[in-house]
Amino acid sequence: MLYDTFWALVLGFTTSGLIQAFGSRRAIAQRFGSHTPRTIVRASIWGALSSSCSYAASAIAKSLYDKGSDFTTAIVFMVASTNLVVDLGLVLWTLMGWRFAAAEVVGGILMITLLALVLPRVLRTMMTRPVALVAPDDEPTTLYDAAAFTLGDLTMVRSELIIGFLVAGACAELIPAQAWRDLFLVHHGMVGALENVVSGPVLAALSFVCSVGNIPLANALWHQGLSFGGTLSFIYADLLTIPLMAIYASYYGPRVTRRLVLTFWFVMSLTGLLTQALFDALHLSPHRSDHVAAPNFHLSAVTTTLNVIALVALAGVVVVARRGRRRTPSARYATDPICGMNVTIATASATAAVDGVTYYFCAPGCRDAFLRKSAH
């Protein structure tokens, strides 16, 4: 799974670093500062052209929000970048057939529509920062700053990434497919359909599998009897893994995370149910005999090439970041002393003054941890 997603991780976090360093807060506020239909469509297109990695997508969404994007629009970007990207569609088509690939696109659009309607009503307190209060970008930005943001984001989520891949590998290789199937009660009709779409996201959260990496497991579940809608809801729920929930909590705080997770669960389950109903009505639902359960790795040469390029790019980012540390400290950016993330001073989520020194943090949780540590 790391092999499949390494290049996407590097691409996503590098893109996030560039957005945070070079993206104008005023420009982003103007383009993504609301959740009108036009803005939602624009964010969906940008997301579809971005990385498919869930971890990287969450980092980019946070950077967009910090730059002045509307919260709902930033979340829509994140959902689009994990459900409407080309590489995910190619893997789905290869492993599970064109019907699943088509359902992923249709369901992704439906899920974004539902989120745009539901999320602003669930999280009314996540207000967009007024453009007038956003500090101008007076100090020149360099690649040193972008590299620092990239490595800072990777440092912040390193534990979640390591734990996520290890547990995902264990779930995929050590637990028989039949054991996954036994987690679901087998029913018929609407009761079974509801049970499957509700259970799909729960299973995705417990499996720790995210992004393109959850397609092989989804393929196994589908061939072991999980319904079409339940399999789709499992695939949609790549944003609901436990490591990602921890990242949301560090980004937005526990209260917002609880509401965001419940909203995701509801919308992803409903999308799976509605997409299955639509494909059933059009007689387009797939059959288990369409594709075999064994995965096809004929794209491995392409993935290897992308991973080599990503590794060289990451090495370059490390070199640039190290050189940047020897420069004069920036007046625009600071380093979170707890998680290591690069923080824009003007839009820092939290600050604290200790012994006459002001520290800047990516989230209130890091500030609280720092204050507890300082008290000892």
Provide the pLDDT for residue 110.
Answer: 96
The token pair that represents 105 in the structure block? 């696109």
Per-residue pLDDT tens digits for 206-239? 876 666 667 777 877 787 778 899 999 999 998 8
Looking at the structure, tell me whether residues 305 and 367 fall in a common domain: no
Domain end marker among 323, 342, 366: 323
Tokens in use for 185? 């009660």
Same domain? For 52 and 131 the reply is yes
Do 72 and 168 lie in one domain? The reply is yes
% of the chain residues with pLDDT over 90: 20
What pLDDT is stored for residue 183 in this prediction?
Answer: 65
Q: Render pLDDT for 139-192 as a digit per residue (tens, 0 to 9).
A: 567 788 888 878 877 776 676 667 666 765 676 677 776 776 666 655 556 777
Is the domain of 121 the same as that of 270? yes
If one compares 347 and 65, the residue with the highest pLDDT of the two is 65
How many domains, in total, are found in the chain?
A: 2
Do residue 303 and residue 198 come from a single domain? yes
**pLDDT given for residue 28 in this prediction:** 62
Identify whether residues 32 and 166 lie together within a single domain: yes
Whether 290 and 346 share a structural domain = no
- 318 lies in the same domain as 358: no
Going by C-alpha positions, the residue among 359, 278, 290 that lies closest to residue 110 is: 278
pTM: 0.67
Q: Is 190 buried (19+), middle (13-18) or exposed (0-12) by CB count in 10 A?
A: exposed
Q: What is the mean pLDDT of residues 346-355?
A: 77
Lowest mean pLDDT among 88-97, 136-145, 272-281, 352-361: 136-145
Residue 17 is which amino acid? Answer: G
Give the CA diameter of the chain.
69
Q: Tell whether 351 and 219 lie within a shared domain.
A: no
Q: What is the pLDDT of residues 36-47, one digit of tens each?
A: 899 999 888 888
The answer to whether residues 220 and 350 belong to one domain is no
More confident of the two residues 309 and 187: 309
At 208, which helix (H) or strand (E)?
none
pLDDT score, position 133: 44
What pLDDT is recorded for position 312?
95
What is d(CA 316, CA 232) in angstroms, rounded to the nearest whole number? 38
pLDDT in tens, 264-291: 999 999 999 999 999 999 999 998 777 6
**Do 222 and 271 reside in the same domain of the chain?**
yes
Q: What is the number of residues in the chain? A: 376
Same domain, 315 and 343: no
Instruction: Using alpha carbons, list the distances in angstroms from residue 294 to 29, 86, 220, 234.
Output: 46, 22, 8, 19
Using a CB cutoff of 8 Å and minimum separation of 24, what contacts does 243-247 make? Answer: 243/55, 243/157, 243/160, 243/161, 243/163, 243/164, 243/208, 243/210, 244/54, 244/55, 244/58, 244/160, 244/164, 244/210, 245/205, 246/160, 247/55, 247/58, 247/156, 247/157, 247/160
Q: Tell me the CA distances in angstroms from 25 to 136, 157, 215, one per residue in order.
A: 8, 24, 36
pLDDT score, position 296: 46
Domain that holds residue 354: 332-375
> Which of 180-184, 229-233, 300-304, 370-374 has the largest mean confidence?
229-233
Decide: helix, strand or coil at residue 234. Answer: helix
